[in-house]
Amino acid sequence: MTFGSLIALSISAIFINNFVLSRFLGLCPFMGVSKKTETALGMGMAVIFVMTMSSALTWIIWTYFLLPGKSNVLYLLFHALGANVRPEQFDFSYLETIAFILVIATFVQLVEMIIQKSAPALYEALGIFLPLITTNCSVLGVAELNTMSMHLNFLESLVHGISAGIGFTIALLLMSGIRERLELADIPKPMQGLPIVFITAAIMSIAFLGFSGLKF
């Protein structure tokens, strides 16, 4: 793993496999909070933060608690206590969905409480978006991708988490800018609201398809 491969991973997550426009993750907030640029930015910042931290947390849980092997913490504990156990008995990888969602939900609650106490100004800006993030599928999605399908190491997971959040924020900001203009546009009545937003997203997605020609 080199610095170059981390840059490649990052650009791939931001542009080529943009979480919203090509992986279809996090569409609910993408449709829900993209009416104003200001709220879109707040949501984007909250998502970048939660995604980065939960990428790191879920990677640790996955590697040291759920995967079988000599580094499984429970194995080490039982081994130290003198029980007659083998590393492969500690395969909890089937619990991954439950473990990840609980870690994310707890972490989001914790962050909300800490920010509320220590940084009221930041809480004003991010506060209302934090509870929504638990059910933002891009957060659980990035955790699943890091561990189950892409098999990244710790540093790569962290970079992938930050980049995925940035990609989400870029898509959200672009969409909110367009929607502010759409407010003033003369749209046929049945097209107003979500239909025109989806069609706009389709055109944005075509534009992002252009990035898939990037090669490293």
Partner 1 sequence: MIKEFTKGILKENPVLVQALGLCPTLAVTSTAYNGIGMGIAVIFVLTMSNIIVSLIKKTVPSKIRIPIFITVIATFVTIVKLVMAAYTPALSKQLGIFIPLIVVNCIILGRAEAFASKNGVLASALDGLGMGIGFTLVLFVMGTIREILGSGTLTLGFPLLVNPFTINVLGNGYNPALLMILPPGGFLTLGILMWLKQLLLEK
Residues at the site binding partner 1, with contacts judged by CB under 8 A: 21-28, 31, 94-98, 100-102, 105-106, 134-137, 139-141, 144-145, 148-149, 189-199, 201-203, 205-206, 209
**In angstroms, how far apart are the furthest CA atoms of the chain?**
75
| The CA-based dihedral angle spanning residues 121, 122, 126, 128, taken in that order and rounded to the nearest 10 degrees | -40
Q: How far apart are alpha carbons 17 and 167 in whole angstroms?
A: 9
Q: State the minimum distance, in angstroms, from the CB of residue 1 to partner 1.
A: 23
Select 71 or 212, whichever has its Cβ closest to partner 1. Answer: 212
Residue 201 Cβ, how far from partner 1 at the closest point, in Å? Answer: 4
Closest CA relative to residue 43, chosen from 144, 194, 173 = 173
In this structure, what are the phi and psi dihedrals at residue 136, rounded to the nearest 5 degrees? -85, 115
Q: Which is nearer to partner 1, 23 or 160 (CB)?
A: 23
- Rounded Cα distance, 202 and 113, in Å: 38
**Smallest separation (angstroms) from partner 1 to the CB of 187:** 10
Q: Between residues 8 and 101, which has the closer beta carbon with respect to partner 1?
A: 101
Q: Count of residues for the chain?
A: 216
Closest CA to 65 of 54, 77, 55, 53: 77
Task: Find the shortest distance in angstroms from Cβ 90 to partner 1.
Answer: 18
CB of residue 108 to partner 1, shortest distance in Å:
11
Select 125 or 128, whichever has its Cβ closest to partner 1: 128
Nearer to partner 1, 125 or 135 (CB): 135
